[in-house]
């Protein structure tokens, strides 16, 4: 069992079951998440028999670093081996507000978006909560930085691994552990409608981003196979429902692909669709991947698109990309077998 798979409450229960006092759980979490040790024998304030019990019950050993690449803009990409021959990627991005980690939730992805390198491989398996947590600890240790925010935007569809996603949030958010505030965590979904509604009732302040990428079914179906299951209107209704329940703003992700979803007319349609909603549109320059035939929208087209949204009083931002030179930008991640 991976130690990072345990929530604080689960560890406390384990400790009590084995006849130890509750405060031992806090000591252990302090070693694991504040000191970031990777063996139980380093936990100097624990009795020997407890160290023995922990050593025989849990492991720290899950990710092995295969490659670490640093981009000119400071973005660091890690390729980790899960030790079952599956490889995953994790990215650290430097923002003016601190270091942000982009984590993987699945080996491969079944949603199959035509523009995304991660979707090329079908899902092989879900990651456990602990395997997602371990990416943060390992990336911190391998780079000597401290992560202060998390985006769940690596390989995989987090809402297709919902239970482990929720557990992951509980673990990293816990004040006795990494203590990363829910408001500093963003989850991105391709728009799994029932899960968006379920997430609305989770009662955490985690930010929601939805990959819309097109205002019409005609365009969206070309880009995202999932649009056959959940149409644009259904996704927008689910977002409205989420906003109604949580009173929180939702980020709409919109990757801009040349001559596909970036015309001024399409901008007007998007503005109409989102009118009056508490959303924030992230206009993301498409990153070319060798698996897909698309081109990045030109700066002029992106700016014209943005201008239309502004005219309609839709809050939007034209985003810069990071880490393009090391294939660490959005959609360039994929699990590979070397």
Contact window for ligand SF4 (CB under 6 A) among 110-118, 172-180, 240-248, 287-295: 110-118
**What stretch of H or E contains 149?**
strand 147-152
Region 129-168 residues binding ligand SF4, contact defined as CB under 6 A: 156-157
Q: Report the sign of the C-alpha dihedral through residues 111, 320, 146, 187, in that order.
A: negative
3-state secondary structure string, 259-302? CCCCCHHHHHHHHHHHCCCCEEEEEEECCCCCCCCCCECCHHHH
Backbone dihedral region for residue 187 (phi beyond 0: left; psi -120 to 50: alpha; all else: beta): beta
Sole binder of ligand SAH in the list 71, 173, 189, 251 (CB under 6 A):
189
Distance between CA 168 and CA 132 in Å, rounded?
7
Sole binder of ligand SF4 in the list 75, 90, 104, 118 (CB under 6 A):
118
Q: Quick check: 253 binds ligand SAH (CB under 6 A)? A: yes
Q: Quick check: 281 binds ligand SF4 (CB under 6 A)? A: no
Q: Report the sign of the C-alpha dihedral through residues 253, 259, 262, 267, in that order.
A: negative
Q: Quick check: 316 binds ligand SF4 (CB under 6 A)? A: no
Among 191, 271, 256, CA closest to 226? 191
- In the complex, minimum distance from the CB of residue 56 to ligand SAH, in angstroms, rounded to a whole number: 37
Binding partner of 255, given ligand SF4, ligand SAH, none, CB within 5-8 angstroms per partner class:
ligand SAH
| Active-site residue list | 89, 330
Nearer to ligand SF4, 173 or 188 (CB): 188
Binding partner of 139, given ligand SAH, ligand SF4, none, CB within 5-8 angstroms per partner class:
none
**What stretch of H or E contains 142?**
helix 129-143
Nearer to ligand SAH, 281 or 314 (CB): 281
Q: Report the sign of the C-alpha dihedral through residues 25, 29, 30, 32, in that order.
A: positive
51-57 long-range contacts (CB < 8 A, ≥24 apart) are 53/18, 54/3, 54/28, 57/1, 57/14
Distance between alpha carbon 66 and the CA centroid of its chain, in Å? Answer: 21
Q: Quick check: 5 binds ligand SF4 (CB under 6 A)? A: no
Q: Quick check: 328 binds ligand SAH (CB under 6 A)? A: no
- In the complex, minimum distance from the CB of residue 223 to ligand SF4, in angstroms, rounded to a whole number: 9
Nearer to ligand SF4, 109 or 134 (CB): 109
Q: Quick check: 116 binds ligand SAH (CB under 6 A)? A: yes
Task: Please give the radius of gyration of the chain, using alpha carbons only, rounded to the nearest integer.
Answer: 21
Q: Quick check: 289 binds ligand SAH (CB under 6 A)? A: yes
Nearer to ligand SF4, 117 or 308 (CB): 117
Nearer to ligand SF4, 29 or 80 (CB): 80
Site of interaction with ligand SF4 (CB under 6 A)? 109, 111-113, 116, 118-119, 156-157, 190
Site of interaction with ligand SAH (CB under 6 A)? 115-116, 153, 157, 188-190, 211, 253, 255, 284, 286-287, 289, 330-331
């Amino acid at each position: 069992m991976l130690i990072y798979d345990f929530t604080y409450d689960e560890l406390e229960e384990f400790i009590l079951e084995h006849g130890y006092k509750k405060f031992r759980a806090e000591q252990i979490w302090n070693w694991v998440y504040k000191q970031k040790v990777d063996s139980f024998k380093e936990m100097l304030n624990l009795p020997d028999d407890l160290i023995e019990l922990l050593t025989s019950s849990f492991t720290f050993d899950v990710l092995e670093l295969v490659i670490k690449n640093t981009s000119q803009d400071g973005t660091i990409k890690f390729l980790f081996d899960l030790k079952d021959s599956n490889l995953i990627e994790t990215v650290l991005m430097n923002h003016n507000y601190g270091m942000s980690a982009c984590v993987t939730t699945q080996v491969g992805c079944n949603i199959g978006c035509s523009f995304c390198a991660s979707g090329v491989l079908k899902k092989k398996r879900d990651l456990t909560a602990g395997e997602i947590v371990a990416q943060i600890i390992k990336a911190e240790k391998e780079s000597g930085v401290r992560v202060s925010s998390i985006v769940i935007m690596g390989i995989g569809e987090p809402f297709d691994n919902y239970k482990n996603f929720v557990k992951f949030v509980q673990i990293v958010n816990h004040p006795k552990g990494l203590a990363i505030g829910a408001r500093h965590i963003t989850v991105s979904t391709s728009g799994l409608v029932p899960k968006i509604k379920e997430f609305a009732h989770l009662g955490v302040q985690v930010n929601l981003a939805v990959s819309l990428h097109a205002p019409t079914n005609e365009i969206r179906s070309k880009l995202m196979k999932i649009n056959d299951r959940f149409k644009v209107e259904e996704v927008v209704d689910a977002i409205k429902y989420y906003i109604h329940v949580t009173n929180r703003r939702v980020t709409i992700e919109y990757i801009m692909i040349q001559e596909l979803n970036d015309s001024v007319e399409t901008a007007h349609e998007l503005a109409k669709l989102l009118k009056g909603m508490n959303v924030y549109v992230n206009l993301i320059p498409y990153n070319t991947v060798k698996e897909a035939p698309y081109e990045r929208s030109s700066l002029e087209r992106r700016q014209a698109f943005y201008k239309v949204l502004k005219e309609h009083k839709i809050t939007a931002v034209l985003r810069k990309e990071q880490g393009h030179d090391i294939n660490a930008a959005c959609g360039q991640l994929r699990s590979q077998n070397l």
